[in-house]
Amino acid sequence: MTDVAAANVLMMVLSASLGINIAFWCAVGLVRFVAEIGSARRFENPTTIGVADVAVVIPAHNEEIALPKCIAALTAIIPARQIFVASDGSRDATVAIARAAGCRALDIQPNGGKAKAIDKAINHYRLCDRYQAVLIQDADSEIDRHYFEHALPLFDDPDVAAVAGHVLSRWREQRWPSMDMLYAAYRTRLYRILQTAFQYGQSWKWTNVSYIAPGFASIYRASALRQIDITAPGLVIEDFNMTFEVQRKGLGRVAYSPKARCSSEDPFTLNDYRKQVQRWYLGFWQTVRRHGIWPSRFWLSLGGLLAELLVISLFALALPVAAIVYLVTGVETPALSLSELAVHPVSPLGLLALFLAVDYALTFVVAVIECRPSMLLYGIAFPVIRLLDAALFLRALFKSFSVQSDGRWVSPERYTAVVPAGR
């Protein structure tokens, strides 16, 4: 193989490992960061929303373990009377815990699903009439004490319909790495990459192509929330759909600040991780199919990302198979050289080694940024989780054509003792 062909193969692997979209949105985010240095937000006819103007809705299903920590973090920054717990078919002490803390609690029976629980709480308590904004937060999330300080000023821009929170994975303090923290470590890397590379650039006022305001802790302006179909039928999750509704109906911009933080608990068993990721991916593909394609910057961005994710998923799953075939038969993998318009055989072992090296380099960078050296050990297993993610992503695509959901849910197993994220 020529040097040019080798360089092309290298670029192919790097693109399949990282993605062209990451590089593009990192560049956009850098431009945004530089452009906003020293800038002050000043708008005509400011519509500043204060803490007293915010209602909090917490959908919960059997969350007696996680809910006390969630409420404790919230009541440190907002009165309990402004917190509304939508207990969806809970059979434990969820309702009693919420009411004992001074919150309102709606005991919904039977279990109807997260989206319906959110909608029932909003309508039952007339939250869009009584408040200017509604924060929707998961019961396993613990909000940062400065969340409102950074999130609410974004609503001074009348074009902002929602503010997406910045998610942090919650780590337990341990002397040695433990398998039950593997998924939190993986999510730490994933969230850092996604929020730095995508959310920051895509939520800029000049781009406005965010495709997700995560349901763990995001705020919606009440006037926009009225127009969102929260309980769209057949969807397994609601947050992708709510964000698509904002974009599709032109309700405004999805804003984001990396300082509006909230920590979330990640699964600590393989089964819970698999079920959660499958649920997310299925809900995403169902939402894409429900809303369809419409001419917009949003779909120009999303379409490119979808195409790339499909290619990366197929590449990631095919590479180990090609390596095994090569070890057994000696058959090399064909690789296209775009500059020479020719196909060259390459060793899949070399491609696999490069893929793993790039993946671990990402782990190293995030471990340094997060000051978590244990990630260097966890990172050895990250490629395996990436393969699982790729398989679930493709499987969810096919399932989205046949699976309809009533939205009912089962909460994963929770830790009985955790330490809030310190970052």
> What average pLDDT does this structure show over 249-257?
95
Query: Does some domain include residue 304?
Result: no
Query: Does some domain include residue 108?
Result: yes
Query: Does some domain include residue 168?
Result: yes
Query: Does some domain include residue 230?
Result: yes
Residues near 330 by beta carbon (within 8 Å), at least 6 away in sequence? none
Give the side-chain half-sphere CA count within 13 A for 401: 4
CATH code: domain of residue 214: 3.90.550.10
Alpha carbon distance 313, 186 (integer Å): 17
Alpha carbon distance 110, 236 (integer Å): 17
Query: Does some domain include residue 77?
Result: yes
H/E stretch holding 106 reads strand 104-108
For 8-14, the CB contacts below 8 A with 24+ separation are 8/335, 8/336, 8/337, 8/338, 8/339, 8/340, 9/335, 9/337, 9/344, 9/346, 9/351, 10/354, 12/335, 12/336, 13/351, 13/354, 13/355, 13/358, 14/354, 14/358
Residues near 347 by beta carbon (within 8 Å), at least 6 away in sequence? 326, 332, 333
Query: Does some domain include residue 291?
Result: no
Would you call the peptide bond into 110 cis, given omega within 30 degrees of 0 as the criterion?
Answer: yes
Cα→Cα distances 35→99, 164, 260, Å: 46, 21, 20
Q: Please tell me the predicted confidence (pLDDT) of residue 410.
A: 66
Query: Does some domain include residue 420?
Result: no
> Is the model's pLDDT at 20 over the cut of 50?
yes
Model confidence at 134, pLDDT cuts 50, 70, 90, reads very high
What is the rounded average pLDDT for all residues in the chain? 87
Residues near 38 by beta carbon (within 8 Å), at least 6 away in sequence? none
Residue type, 10: L
Q: How many domains does the chain have?
A: 1
Q: Rounded to the nearest 5 degrees, what angle is found at the Cα of 128, between the Cα atoms of 126 and 132?
A: 135
The tokens of 150 are what? 């950074």
Q: Which domain holds residue 204?
A: 49-176+196-267
The tokens of 183 are what? 């998924």
pTM: 0.88
> Is the model's pLDDT at 11 over the cut of 80?
no
Cα dihedral 302, 307, 311, 314, rounded to 10, equals 90
* pLDDT tens column, 369-379: 999 999 999 99
Residue 239: phi, psi to the nearest 5?
Answer: -70, -35
Residues near 412 by beta carbon (within 8 Å), at least 6 away in sequence? 267, 269, 272, 275, 276
The tokens of 212 are what? 């997700």
> What average pLDDT does this structure show over 291-317?
92
Top-confidence residue, 20 or 132: 132
> What average pLDDT does this structure show over 344-351?
76
Q: Please tell me the predicted confidence (pLDDT) of residue 354.
A: 84
Give me the residue label for tokens 């850098």: 30
Give the dihedral sign, CA 41/42/43/49: positive
Cα→Cα distances 56→71, 118, 218, 422, Å: 10, 10, 10, 23
* pLDDT tens column, 153-203: 999 999 999 999 999 998 876 666 677 789 999 999 999 988 988 999 999
Query: Does some domain include residue 348?
Result: no
**With contact defined as beta carbons under 8 Å apart, do 13 and 355 qualify?**
yes
Residues near 358 by beta carbon (within 8 Å), at least 6 away in sequence? 13, 14, 17, 18
